[in-house]
């Protein structure tokens, strides 16, 4: 039985990788490049999402900090106020997450620009956006769809970091100096 389970596990992994690869091939890379251009111009960047999309957001916030950019997670005790010249990056597969949409709306009320990364460009969250970055994940199984969205979004945002690192001329020593060392 373990051999059958290992085989099934490998097949599930291959299937997931194939779906992620297909979605990455359909991504509008120009929109991610536009995001990479906006980030260093923002006075502060706030990244938000709920659930696993929230984990992707937090990971991207950490990468922005590694790039030397002022990045914050709404709700954390050390997060400053937002305002004009700031940017909020909101991540949600369905664009239906109330918490994320609320924060996007609030950020706009305070004059911040809002970028929404979603699979649903006509969603309530997307309607709050100044720019929508579509990650075209689709699947009748919401669990599979969300997993493909989250992994693809994470990879795309790591690519954004790589572009930023090149543009900002971040060397390995500067990266290491900003990397957590109390863990």
Q: Which domains does the chain have, with CATH numbers?
A: 2-178 (3.40.50.10490)
Active-site option among 5, 120, 128, 150? 150
- In sequence order, which ranges of the chain are alpha helices (DSSP H)? 2-26, 29-38, 51-66, 98-109, 142-167, 172-178
Q: What is the pLDDT of residues 77-118, one digit of tens each?
A: 999 999 999 999 999 999 999 999 999 999 999 999 999 999
Q: What is the pLDDT of residues 34-70, one digit of tens each?
A: 999 999 999 999 999 999 999 999 999 999 998 999 9
Structure tokens at 89: 């990056």
Active site residue 150: yes
Q: Which residues contact 167 (CB under 8 A, 6 or more apart)?
A: 36, 40
Of 151 and 142, the structure prediction assigns the larger pLDDT to 151
């Amino acid at each position: 039985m373990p051999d059958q389970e290992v085989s099934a596990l490998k097949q599930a992994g291959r299937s997931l990788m194939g779906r992620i690869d297909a979605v990455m091939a359909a991504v509008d890379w120009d929109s991610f490049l536009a995001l990479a251009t906006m980030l260093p111009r923002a006075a502060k960047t706030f990244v938000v999402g709920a659930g696993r999309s929230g984990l992707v957001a937090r990971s991207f916030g950490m990468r922005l900090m590694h790039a030397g950019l002022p990045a914050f997670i709404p709700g954390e005790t050390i997060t400053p106020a937002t305002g004009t010249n700031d940017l909020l990056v909101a991540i949600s597969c369905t664009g239906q997450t109330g918490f994320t949409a609320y924060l996007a709306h609030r950020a706009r009320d305070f004059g911040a620009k809002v970028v929404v990364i979603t699979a649903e460009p006509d969603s309530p969250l997307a309607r709050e956006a100044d720019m929508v970055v579509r990650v075209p994940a689709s699947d009748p199984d919401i669990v599979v769809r969300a997993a493909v969205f989250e992994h693809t979004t994470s990879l795309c945002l790591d690519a954004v970091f790589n572009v930023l690192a090149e543009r900002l001329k971040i060397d390995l020593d500067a990266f290491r100096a900003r990397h957590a060392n109390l863990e």
